Amino acid sequence: MFGLFKKDPIKQLEKKYLKLMEEAMEIQRGGDIKAYAQKAAEAEKVAEEIEELKKQQGK
């Protein structure tokens, strides 16, 4: 019953990933390739966390 209101950690990480990728795209459009690479790497780490959680949950 109490698990009903728990947020899915995968969904939270997916939202974070999308936000990071949008930020990276805006940085790239601004021409700062170094900052873009850092933001994209940060997004990639989140993507790896998502994959790890999916493996643990068997999805």
- Residues 42/18/52/40 CA torsion (nearest 10 deg): -20
Tens-digit pLDDT profile for residues 9-46: 899 999 999 999 999 999 999 999 999 999 999 999 99
pTM: 0.83
- List the domain range (segments joined by +) for residue 42: 2-57
Phi, psi of 31 (to 5 degrees): 95, 5
Reported as a pLDDT band with limits 50, 70 and 90, residue 2 is low
The rounded distance, in Å, linking the Cα atoms of 35 and 50 is: 23
The domain tally of the chain equals: 1
- Residues 23/26/31/34 CA torsion (nearest 10 deg): 10
Structure tokens at 53: 């959680």
